[in-house]
Amino acid sequence: MHYQPIIGLEVHVQLQTQTKIFCGCSTAFNPDQPNVQTCPVCLGLPGALPVLNGTALRLAIKTAMALNCQIAKFTKWDRKQYFYPDLPKGYQISQYDLPFSFDGQVELITNAETGESRPIRIIRAHLEEDAGKNVHDETGRGRDSMVDLNRAGTPLVEIVSHPDLRSAAEARQMLEELHALLTYLEVSDCNMQEGSLRCDANVNLHITKDDGTVVATPIVEIKNLNSFRFTEQAVEYEIARQWKAFQETGKTIKDAPKSTRGFDPDRGVTTIMREKEEAADYRYFPDPDLVPVTVTDEQLAAIRSEMCEAPAVMRKRFQSEYQLSAYDASVIIDQGRLLAEYFEATAKLCGDGKQAANWVTQDVLRVMKERKETIANFPLRPEVLGSLIARVTQKQLTIKSAREVFADLLTAEEDQTPAPSMAQIDEIVAAKGLAIVQDDGAMETAIAAVIDKNPKAVADFQAGKQAAVGALIGQVMKQLKGADAQAVREKILTKLSGG
Amino acid sequence: MVSDGANNTMAFPRETVLKVASLARLQLTPEEVDLFATQLGATLDYVARLDELDVSNVEPMVHAIELTNVLRDDVLVPSLPRHDAVANAPKTDGKYFLVPAILES
Ligand SMILES: [Zn+2]
């Protein structure tokens, strides 16, 4: 008997608008000042009329295009009715049977090393409004819960995938891929701490019995996962739990309804929230306060022209155009669009993608991390880094010297001087004598002088102590900082062997 | 389902009345359940007269108003002062709407 996990995600993405989806209240994250971003519309006061935010619609269409969805020419609004304290109107404005987009797919990288990928199908993406936030009494004394409606009415796109994911790791990768895609497009900041990207995971197992028959376990929806790690942990736990439950009870999808569970990150377990006795009855009906939306081909073409390159496309292009490994390309792409653009500018300027990738993924990322800086504030601009790397590829500087210049440029920047320039590279190289000595005459002279001054080391070497040559090399290098140590070594050896 | 008019009322099941009431969080007396069963039955019956029409060539109507694309610009409008926002709350601490403890999970 063996099993195959079957996983689908429902991802909620907060769109990057200034104002809410149907009113002019701010969407700023502001938990310290509850209930200061509300109005009659988002409070659901009688007589208030919602009006659609045009930017929310445009960003939503952009999202759907990035998901390779079909865009509906005609879409409408429906009321989804249920009672919960964070839902002031008693219904959520959402889209039921005519969502603005459907039938898409996302290419999921399933192996970071090889870059192998597989399409994950998207059933639909629709627009809706977010609910408010309930703040619970943590003392356990049953005190009142507190409701903050600042968030009520924030525009969300809900993305529903087919159950095409096959492991907890893939569920996490899918969420990461969407995160990268949506931040590249600048449709959402995808800030997970602030709830701008969160998901529900539908999980069950297809079990192949020893006689070859296949049965499915009851479907569980894990609600409100708000980090990549929790998503992976929750799904992982749920797969193991269902496998154990099936072995103990033999219950299949035919014996039990779909149930809802929550994830407790402290204990790393999912716990039952409710069994759905029957399909929830939301009594959807068209919202009479909002008129339908139509879009023309011209409008869609205009939105399409604003689209930037998708990270998945950029990842492939970096591999072919700059000869990067799938892994290096992913490391760069996953850092966000600004870093990817920084890399590309640097690679173009120095003419060596592989070297540029090494510098960006090692040196630049390390310094950014140490200084807790974003690439936007990184003091070395691509022109300067590109020029520095070019000197290495053109054999004017050794890697070691270039690292020294890199560090010095950053220190100089800390001393409040203007941002490091290309001229400063020349100054540092000159001041420290780092330029690779291509003048054989200078090297010969230096070597001859060192040999003259160190008869003991020479004698040791000639007596068979190979290590003695190291001291000689060291002294030559001290004089000619930019010299290539390997070349110096060869020349000394030749000389000492009577060359 | 064929109806011969509003006078001949179809029975509307009491269980359905109770279910709709529960979804709407309404508590009904047994008399009210009977009353609404009759009234809702009559209303639905009346609407069912539309079944007499052949609509096979008519586009489904999705909205009562023949208007589309009413949009606003993404521009901030001042919100209500908090004092006003919570003014109608049955219970408030002046900052939040207070509701009986919600038990999660
Ligand atoms: Zn509002």
Q: Is A225 within the bounds of a domain?
A: no
Cβ burial of A78 (10 Å; 0-12, 13-18, 19+) is buried
Q: Compute the distance between CA of residue A234 and CA of residue A175 in angstroms, rounded to an integer.
A: 14
B6 pLDDT band (50/70/90 cuts)? very low
**Nearest-angstrom CA–CA distance, A204 and A7:** 7
Question: Among residues A298, A327, A361, which one ends one of the domains?
Answer: A298
N-terminal to C-terminal alpha carbon distance within chain A: 75
Question: What is this structure's pTM?
Answer: 0.82
Share of chain B above pLDDT 70, in %: 88
Q: B62 and A98 in contact (C-beta within 8 Å)?
A: yes
Q: What is the pLDDT of residue B1?
A: 41
A183 lies in the same domain as A331: no
Q: Tell me: do A148 and A28 sit in the same domain.
A: yes
Write a three-state SS string for B67-87.
Answer: CCCCEECCCCCCCCCHHHHCC
Instruction: Please tell me whether residues A390 and A482 are part of one structural domain.
Output: no
Pair (A146, A53) in one structural domain: yes
What average pLDDT does range B74-78 have in this prediction? 98
- Same domain membership, residue A492 and residue A471: yes
Chain B contact for A48 (CB, 8 A cutoff): no
Contact A132, A86 (CB under 8 A): yes
Contact between A39 and B80 using a beta-carbon 8 Å cutoff: yes
Q: Do both A352 and A469 map to the same domain?
A: no
Output the domain CATH number for residue A463.
Answer: 1.10.10
Q: What is the pLDDT of residue A184?
A: 94
Do residues A205 and A240 make contact, with C-beta atoms less than 8 angstroms apart?
Answer: no
Mean pLDDT value across chain A? 91
Could B62 and A293 be called an inter-chain contact, meaning their C-beta atoms sit closer than 8 Å?
no
Determine contact: A15 vs chain B, CB below 8 A: no
Rounded distance from Cα B66 to ligand 1 centre (Å): 26
Domain limit, last residue, from A413, A448, A468: A413
What whole-number distance in Å separates Cα of residue A375 and Cα of residue A242?
44
Record: contact A34-B105, CB cut-off 8 A: no
Residue A17 lies in domain: 8-200+279-298
Do A74 and A135 fall within a single domain?
yes
Bridge partner list, A456 = none
pLDDT of residue A104: 98
Q: Identify the CA nearest to A408 among candidates A444, A367, A438, A372.
A: A367
Which of A298, A329, A358 marks a domain boundary? A298
Contact B97 A85 (CB under 8 A): yes
pLDDT at B5: 42
3-state DSSP assignment of residue A222: strand
Q: What is the pLDDT of residue B10?
A: 59
Residue A294 has its nearest CB partner, among B25, B69, B101, at B69
Q: What is the CA radius of gyration of chain A?
A: 31
Q: Are residues A144 and A285 in the same domain?
A: yes
Mutate to test the interface with A, among B15, B72, B92, B93 (most CBs of A within 10 A): B72
Residue A12 β-bridge partners: A158, A198
Residue A17 inside a domain? The answer is yes
**pLDDT range class, residue B104, cuts 50, 70, 90:** low
Q: How far is the CA of A289 from the centre of ligand 1 (A)?
A: 15
* 43-82 in chain B: CB under 8 A from chain A: 62-65, 67-77, 79-82
For residue A2, what pLDDT is reported?
93
Cα separation values, A20 from A131, A150, A153, A450, Å: 11, 10, 5, 76
The reported pLDDT for the residue numbered A155 is 98
Domain identity same for A180 and A147? yes
Q: Collapsing DSSP states into helix, strand and coil, what is residue A5?
A: strand
Rounded CA gap, A2 and A348, in Å? 51
Note the pLDDT of residue A136: 85
The pLDDT tens digits of the residues spanning B27-75 come to 999 999 999 999 999 999 999 998 999 988 988 888 888 899 999 999 9
How many angstroms separate the most distant Cα atoms in chain B? 58
Assess A262–B contact: CB distance below 8 Å, yes or no.
yes
Could you say which residues of chain A have pLDDT below 70? 275-279, 413-418, 437-440, 481-482, 498-499
Give CB contacts under 8 A, 24+ apart, made by A317-323: A318/A343, A318/A344, A318/A353, A319/A115, A321/A353, A322/A347, A322/A353, A322/A354, A322/A356, A322/A357, A323/A353, A323/A354
Start-to-end CA span in chain B (Å): 44
Percent of chain B with pLDDT over 90: 65
Report the residue from A19, A83, A148 with minimal CB separation from B74: A19
Rounded to an integer, what distance in angstroms lies between the CA atom of residue A79 and that of residue A284?
Answer: 5
Find which of A98, A149, A287, A291 to mutate to test the B interface (most B CBs within 10 Å of its CB).
Answer: A291
Query: Do A317 and A338 fall into the same domain?
Result: yes
A47 near B CB under 8 A = no
Same domain, A290 and A393: no
Nearest to B74 among A54, A291, A293 (CB): A54
Kindly indicate the confidence band of residue B7, based on its pLDDT and cuts at 50, 70 and 90. Answer: very low
- pLDDT at residue number B3: 41
Contact of B90 with chain A, judged by CB distance below 8 Å, is answered with no
> Which of A120, A245, A99 has its CA nearest to residue A171?
A120
Residue with tokens 């304290």: A85
pLDDT in tens, A53-95: 999 999 999 999 999 999 999 999 999 999 999 999 999 999 9
Whether residue A78 is contained in a domain is answered as yes
Domain count within chain A: 3
